[in-house]
């Protein structure tokens, strides 16, 4: 049996004959009493199978009991242990320590971004929950007769909202959202993924009202499409994709007044009609001709810097037929993805 170096893991090592390793972590501390931040570095002995959360537990148990962080399930289910590891949000319980130890790398652990810090690695989740509440995270069936028994949905229907249903509300996506960094009122990736989970639900009857609200200020069109939320989500929810689906549903419902919506629509219409993007139409059709005239000095600056395309010779796709084939394929897929009806128990019995 390997020599036991840390009483914290005595039981574990005794039970599994676990090999141990030395893990070093640099942790950002925030003291709410003094309002001062500092970094502390700790080296602890942990099993080679330890996660970052295990290493934090070892620090708290054996080195500094005042270290504050959140945890519960230890298995990537509860969403409590979101924090930044080397600058990017992740679940501490889902991040193995060994790869860092093997690389001789000292990780820096800090609290999630875009949320106020309460103490050390603990952030105030109140603004997060406020936004989740704002998108009505529950079924609204006011126009439907609700069955007394379980209201089943077909597998095809569930597939449409499956990814969004996987969200564990950990906040990792919110932590890295650059739109929220500049606009703290932006609904953000977690709330918008939750919104699509109900917009896409065939049992919900509030689709139009939901989409109308989501097309307002700080809604779906304020996303900068940086895709950081998709990169950081530990559960494969892909919130940016959910926002794109909300955009597509908004078009179907005729919500195209927001500048962001008009911008996206010019892209779609232009490539649909001609197979290429007519960039000279982009600005007037997005912000309107009057505002486009106001922007002429800026356009001249861009032209001087060689950043304005020649309007007489627009950028063109090499193979327009290929673009048209792609459009046909998309249209075919979109038809197959029409929202199927929820399965009413009566229908199941009749079927």
Interface residues with ligand SF4 (CB under 6 A)? Answer: 167-173, 176-179, 189-190, 193, 223-229, 233, 235, 237, 239-240, 243
Least distance between ligand SF4 and beta carbon 129 (Å): 11
Q: Is 68 in the site for ligand FES (CB under 6 A)?
A: no
Short-list 224, 209, 220, CA closest to 242: 220
- Judged by CB under 6 A, the stretch of 70-78, 136-144, 185-193, 277-285 that binds ligand FES is 70-78
* Cα–Cα distance, 351 to 347 (Å, whole number): 6
160 binds ligand FES (CB under 6 A): no
Whole-Å CA distances, 175 to 140, 193, 230, 322? 29, 15, 12, 39
Q: Which two tokens stand for residue 64?
A: 């500094």
To the nearest whole angstrom, how small is the minimum distance from the Cβ of residue 123 to ligand SF4? 13
Please give the Cα distance from 71 to 319 (Å, whole number). 53
248 contact partners, CB below 8 Å, separation of at least 6: 334
Q: Is 74 in the site for ligand FES (CB under 6 A)?
A: yes
Partner from ligand FES, ligand SF4, none binding residue 81, C-beta < 5-8 Å depending on class:
ligand FES
Asked whether position 71 contacts ligand FES by CB under 6 A, the answer is yes
**To the nearest whole angstrom, how small is the minimum distance from the Cβ of residue 50 to ligand FES?**
14
Beta bridge partners, 239, equal: none
- Judged by CB under 6 A, the number of residues near ligand FES is 12
What are the backbone angles phi and psi of residue 73, rounded to the nearest 5°? -75, -30
Tokens of 328: 């046909």
Element (H, E) at 172: helix 172-175
**Ranges within 225-254 binding ligand FES (CB under 6 A):** none
Binding mask 78-117 for ligand FES (x = CB under 6 A): xxxx---------x-x------------------------
């Amino acid at each position: 049996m390997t020599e036991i170096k840390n009483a914290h893991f005595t039981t574990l090592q005794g039970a599994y004959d676990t090999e141990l390793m030395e893990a070093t972590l640099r942790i950002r501390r925030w003291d709410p009493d003094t309002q001062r931040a500092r970094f502390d570095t700790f080296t602890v002995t942990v099993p080679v199978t330890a996660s970052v959360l295990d290493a934090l537990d070892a620090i708290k148990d054996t080195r500094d009991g005042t270290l504050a962080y959140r945890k519960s399930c230890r298995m990537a289910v509860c969403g409590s242990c979101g924090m930044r590891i080397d600058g990017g949000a992740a679940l501490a319980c889902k991040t193995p320590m060994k790869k860092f130890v093997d690389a001789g790398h000292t990780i820096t652990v800090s609290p999630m971004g875009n949320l106020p810090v309460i103490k050390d690695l603990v952030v105030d989740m109140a603004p997060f929950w406020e936004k989740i509440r704002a998108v009505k995270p529950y079924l609204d069936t006011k126009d439907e007769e609700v069955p007394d028994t379980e209201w089943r949905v077909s597998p095809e229907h569930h597939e449409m909202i499956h990814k969004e249903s996987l969200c564990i509300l950990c906040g990792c996506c919110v932590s890295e959202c650059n739109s929220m960094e500049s606009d703290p009122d932006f609904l953000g990736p977690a709330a918008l993924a939750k919104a699509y989970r109900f917009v896409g639900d065939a049992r919900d009857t509030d689709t139009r009202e939901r989409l109308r609200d989501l097309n307002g200020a700080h809604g779906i069109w304020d996303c900068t499409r940086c895709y950081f939320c998709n990169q950081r989500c530990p559960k494969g929810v892909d919130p940016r994709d959910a926002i794109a689906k909300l955009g597509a549903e908004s078009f179907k419902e005729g919500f195209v007044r927001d500048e962001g919506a008009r911008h996206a629509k010019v892209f779609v219409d232009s490539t649909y009609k001609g197979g290429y993007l007519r960039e000279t139409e982009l600005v007037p059709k997005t912000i309107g001709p009057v505002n486009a005239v106001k922007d002429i000095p800026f356009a001249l600056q861009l032209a001087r810097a060689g950043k304005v395309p020649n309007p007489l010779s627009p950028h063109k796709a090499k193979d327009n037929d290929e673009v048209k084939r792609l459009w046909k394929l998309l249209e075919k897929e979109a038809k197959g993805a029409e929202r199927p009806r929820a399965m009413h128990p009566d229908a199941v019995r009749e079927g």
